[in-house]
Structure 1
Amino acid sequence: MNRLLVLETIIQLKSFTKAAETLGYTQSSVSQMMAALEKEFGIQILKRSRNGVSLTPEGEELYPYIVQALRQYQALEERAASLKGLDKGTVRIGAITSVSCYWLPPLFKAFQEKYPNIEFVLQQGDFGMILDWLKRGEIDFGLMTSEYGDGFNKVVLHETEMKVFLPSHHPLAELDEVPIEKLQDDPFILVEGGGYSEPLAAFEKAGAHADVRYRIQDDYTIMAMVEADLGIGILSELVDSRTDFDVVAKSVVPAVKRPVAVVYREKETLPIASQYFIDFLVKHQKELQ
C-alpha cells in the first residue's frame, strides 16, 4: 500500500524528488518502489519529461483503480480507528470557490476542536471538475450546486442568492433590484461552471440573452474586471460579504438562486472522517449564511 501512496504523491507533485521530500523517503527508495510496482504489474506506469513526471497511457488506465484502492484502505483504517473513537482520518473535499472561502474555514476549525487529529484536503474547482474528481475517487464529496450532476446523492445545505455585480457608476447601480433583461446590453463576464451555469440558465428561462465576452473561474478576478469597467457578472452573494472592490451587488429579478449541496456517491463507502464531517455539515446547515 505504501507504494501506491508514493505513486499518488508523485502524480500530484509531478516529481520523484518532491514526493520523496513530502513522504520522508530518499529519492533512491522512491525510484526503487516505483520500479518494483511496475515490475509487479508488468507495465510502465510513469514517464518523465521536461514538464515533470506523468502517467503513461497504461498508467492512466490503472490510476483510477489505484486511487480507489487507497481510499478503500483509508476507509479500512478509519473504520478500525472508529471502534475506539475518531482518532485520525483525512477528509477530501472538492468545493467551489465561494464555499471554500466563506463557509469551510470556520467549519474546519469547529470540527477539529472536537476531532483534533483529522486532516482536510481541499481542492477548488468548477462544477465539472468536482464531478470528475468524484468519479475518479480523488475526493470523498463535493460542495457545489445540486442542479448539476446526475447519478450522485445530494443533500442541500443552503440556498444562496446570486447577485449581479456592477461598476459603482453603472446606471443600474441605482436600482434596488435589477430586471435580468436589462443586463443584456452589457458585456457579460461568466463564471466558468464546467458544464452548467445558473446565470445562463436564468437568462434562458427569462427569454433573455447574455452577451458573454469573458469566461473566468475566479470570483475575485471577475470583480476586478467589473471594477475596471470591462463588463458585469453574476456571482454568489457570499462573495459580496468580503470585498474591497469598487463595485455594487444587486439582486436580480427574477431571482437567481444556487442550492449548495453535499454531493457524493455512497455515503457508507466513504472514510469514517468524511461521513462524520458530512453529518457535521448537515447539523450546522442553519448557521450557513
Structure 2
Amino acid sequence: MNRFIALQKIVETGSFTKAAQSLGYTQPAISQMIASLEEEFSIQLLYRTRAGIQLTLEGEKLFPFIQNTILHQQLLEEAVEEIKGLKTGVIRIGTISSVSSQWLPSLIKQFQQHYPNVEFILYQADYTTIPELINKGEIDFGFINPDAVPHQDTIFLKEGELKAVLPCNHLLATLPSVTLEELSKEPFLLLEEGSLSEPLEAFKKKDLQPDIRLRVHDDYSILAMIEEGLGVSILPELVLKRTNYQVTILPITPTITRKIGILSKEKQMIPLASKYFIQFILDHIDLLS
C-alpha cells in the first residue's frame, strides 16, 4: 500500500523529490518503492519528461485501479475508526471562493474542537470541476449550485442574494438600486464559475446581452478591477460581506439569487470524517450567513 501511495504522490507532484518530501521519505527510498512495484508488475509505470515525471501508457491504464485500492484501504481504516470512534481522517472538499472565505473558516475551527486530528484539504474549483473531481475520487464532496447539476442528488443549504458592484464614481452608483437593463449597457466583468453563471441566466431571461469585457475566475480579482473603474459586475452577497475594496454595492431590481448545496460521492464511498463534517454543516446551517 505504501508503494501505491508513493506512486500516487509522484503523479500528483510530478516529482520523486517532492513526493518524498511530502510523504517523509528519502528520494532513494521512493525510487526503490517504484522500482520494486515495476519489477513486481513487470511493467514500466513512469517516465521522465521536461514537464516532470509522468505515467506511461501502461501506467495510465493501471493508475485508476491503484487509486481505487488506496481509497478502499482508506475506507477500511476509517470503518475501523468508526467502530472505535472518529479520531483521525482526511476531509477533501471542492469549494467556491465565497464559501471557502466566509463559511469554512468558522466551520472547520468548530469541527476541529471536537476532532482536532482531522485534516482538511480544500480544492478551489467551480461548478464544472467540482463534479469532475468527485467522479475522479479526488474529493469527497463539494459546494455547488444545485441548478448546475440538475440530474444529480444534492443537499440544499442556503439561498443568497446577488448584488451589483460598481466603481464608486459610476453614474449608477448614486441610485438606490439598479436593473439588469442598466447593467447590460456597461462594460461587464463576468465571474467564471463553470457550467452555470447565475448572472448570465438572469440576463438571458430578460433577453439581454451584457457587454462582457473580462472573464475572471476569482471574485477578489474582479473587485480589484471594479475599484480601478474597468467595469461593473454581479457578485454573491456572501463574498461581499468582508471586503475593503472601494466599490459601490447595490441591490438589483428584481432580486437575483444563488443557491448553494452539497454534491458528494455515493454514501457508501464517503469517508467517515467527511460524513461527520457534512452532518456538522447541516447541524449548524442556521449559523451560516
Q: TM-score range by the shorter chain?
A: over 0.9
The reply on whether 1:10 has 2:10 as its aligned counterpart is yes
Say whether the 8 Å CA contact 1:127–1:196 is kept in structure 2: yes
- Residue 152 of structure 1 corresponds to 152
SS at match of 1:209: coil
The reply on whether 1:248 has 2:241 as its aligned counterpart is no
Deviation at 1:269, TM superposition (A): 1.9
Say whether the 8 Å CA contact 1:64–1:137 is kept in structure 2: no
Q: How does 1:1-289 map to 2 (within 5 A)?
A: 1-289=1-289
Deviation at 1:150, TM superposition (A): 4.6
Say whether the 8 Å CA contact 1:153–1:265 is kept in structure 2: no
TM-score, scaled to structure 1: 0.95
SS at match of 1:139: coil
SS at match of 1:127: coil
Deviation at 1:42, TM superposition (A): 4.2
Using the alignment, how far apart are the partners of 2:266 and 2:3 within structure 1?
27
CA RMSD of aligned residues (A): 1.6
Per-residue CA distance 1:41-80 (angstroms, 9 max, x = gap) = 4443322222222333443444333333222211111110
Say whether the 8 Å CA contact 1:180–1:203 is kept in structure 2: yes
SS at match of 1:190: strand
Say whether the 8 Å CA contact 1:166–1:249 is kept in structure 2: yes
Percent pairwise identity? 46
Distance 1:71 1:166, change over 3 A: same
Amino acid of the structure 2 residue aligned with 1:68: N
Q: Which moved more, 1:134-143 or 1:247-256?
A: 247-256
Deviation at 1:151, TM superposition (A): 4.5
Deviation at 1:288, TM superposition (A): 0.6
Using the alignment, how far apart are the partners of 1:233 and 1:64 within structure 2?
41
Using the alignment, how far apart are the partners of 1:62 and 1:162 within structure 2?
45
Distance 1:255 1:33, change over 3 A: same
Using the alignment, how far apart are the partners of 1:249 and 1:58 within structure 2?
54
Say whether the 8 Å CA contact 1:152–1:264 is kept in structure 2: no
SS at match of 2:252: strand
SS at match of 2:154: strand
SS at match of 2:209: coil
Amino acid of the structure 1 residue aligned with 2:96: I
Using the alignment, how far apart are the partners of 1:212 and 1:60 within structure 2?
40
5+ long unaligned stretches in structure 2: none
SS at match of 1:254: coil
Say whether the 8 Å CA contact 1:67–1:138 is kept in structure 2: no
Distance 1:58 1:196, change over 3 A: farther
TM-score, scaled to structure 2: 0.95
Using the alignment, how far apart are the partners of 1:28 and 1:152 within structure 2?
45
Deviation at 1:40, TM superposition (A): 3.8
Amino acid of the structure 2 residue aligned with 1:228: E
